[in-house]
Amino acid sequence: MPDDELIGSALQDALRAVSRRPALYEVAAAVNQMVRSAVDLVPGADAGGISVESPGAGGAHGSTSGTAADLDALQHRHDEGPCLSALHGPPPERSVVVAQDLAGRDRGRWPQFASSAVEVGFSAVLALQLPAVAGIGAALNLYGRTADGFGPGDLILADTFVGHLAHLLFGGSAAGHSRRPTEALEEVELRRRLGGPALEP
């Protein structure tokens, strides 16, 4: 597992950037930097992005690559995908969605998205809901090229970024975010070992 100092440094760099110059473009840059840090530090992740949804609007933000942005946008366009499932799930029970094998056992859950993701080389997705603020929802989406590549340690590392991303996107309104109960992590691991979906959409 990456050293705690690396995680702390990545988070602090992003937070310092937005504190120095809190203009909108600087917030976007800080979000991008934090998503890149999450991808770098979560072993199963090869790309990432943020999905945001609000009444009458929604789309991809803070993606690490054009392909990740396209996959985020595709889910909004087809109204299906693990990231939207995480976005729409009420916390804490359904705020994490793991798709471990989009070419196999998870394909039927989101057929249009799964087909497109596999076509561009991604087999797994880990999506974590960010705390909602004033009717706006968001999720951190991590994409992996290897089927069954996300383990419980990846989930814990990814969750480290959730509160900070919410703070960058929504400001002080998200400051009251509390970490998910350990029961949610245990359920993800149990279902992973049983070979089923981590959480139902």
How many whole angstroms separate alpha carbon 81 and alpha carbon 76?
A: 8
Euclidean distance between CA atoms 77 and 126, whole angstroms? 19
| pLDDT at 170 (0 to 100) | 77
pLDDT bracket for residue 137 (50, 70, 90): confident
pLDDT digits (tens, 9 = 90+) for 162-193: 888 888 877 754 444 433 433 334 434 434 43
Q: What is the rounded distance in angstroms from the CA atom of residue 187 to the CA atom of residue 133?
A: 26
Which residue in 102, 116, 193 sits closest to 147, CA to CA?
102
- Bridge partners (DSSP) of residue 61 are 50
In the predicted model, what is the mean pLDDT of the chain?
75
List the Cα angle 35/37/39 in 5-degree steps. 70
What phi and psi, each to the nearest 5 degrees, are found at residue 43? -55, -35
Residue that wins the pLDDT comparison between 59 and 116: 116
pTM score, two decimals?
Answer: 0.74
Which pLDDT value is given to residue 171? 72
Q: Using an 8 Å Cβ cutoff, are 199 and 191 in contact?
A: yes
- Label residue 21 exposed, middle or buried (CB < 10 Å: 0-12, 13-18, 19+): exposed
Q: Give the pLDDT confidence score for residue 144 in this predicted structure.
A: 97
Is the pLDDT assigned to residue 115 strictly greater than 80? yes
Contact of 83 with 125, CB cutoff 8 Å: yes
Cβ–Cβ under 8 Å, residues 89 and 197: no
H-type alpha helices, 21-65? 24-41
Rounded Cα–Cα distance for residues 65 and 86 (Å): 21
The pLDDT value recorded for residue 114 is 95
